[in-house]
Structure 1
Amino acid sequence: MKRNEYHVVPNGGGWKVERGNQVVGTFDTKQRAVEVGREAAHGNEPSQLVVHTADGKIETEYTYQGDPYPPAG
């Protein structure tokens, strides 16, 4: 089963939560964007929330239900 991927990314002076090409929401603070991203990810398991830094690099990832890693074998 494919996981739903959500990303918290910089958006001008704020932050946004995306799922594919869909914007889930825009926020003034990164903290609020992560909170909403977690709620969205938990509501659509199996899922993953990927949090980016202000320069767009991956800061951390959260996986909810059915993490395929470490791979079998």
Structure 2
Amino acid sequence: MTKKDIHVVPHTGGWAVKKEGGERASSVHRTQADALEQARDQGRRDKVEVVIHGRDGKIRDSDSYGSDPSPPKDKVR
């Protein structure tokens, strides 16, 4: 089974949390911060990446909660 990333995207009247490839939102929130909190919880549970989009729909940032084969070099582990 392929793990699907979770996206925080603009939605009518707020922000939605959607699984990659899904048509419907998993949840809808008034603020991006609330949507991001839900997405991070789900990302940790599913061990996938959370992709954060800006109001224009473009990818703004991402956080990996799975086993990242290429972790950032600026983070010491």
TM-score interval, normalised by the smaller of the two chains:
0.7 to 0.9
The alignment's TM-score, normalised by the length of structure 1, stands at 0.84
Structure 2 unaligned residues grouped into runs of 5+: 72-77
Structure with more of its chain in strand, by fraction: 1
TM-score under structure 2 normalisation? 0.80
How far did 1:69 drift? 1.8
Between stretches 36-45 and 60-69, larger displacement belongs to 60-69
| Structure number with higher relative contact order (C-alpha < 8 Å, ≥ 6 residues apart) | 1
Aligned residue pairs total 69
The separation in 2 between residues aligned to 1:49 and 1:3, in whole angstroms, is 12
How many percent identity over aligned positions? 35
Q: Partner of 1:41 in structure 2?
A: 43
Q: Which ranges of structure 1 fall in alignment gaps of 5 or more residues?
A: none
Q: Show the counterpart of 1:9.
A: 9
C-alpha distance in structure 1 between counterparts of 2:66 and 2:15, whole Å: 25
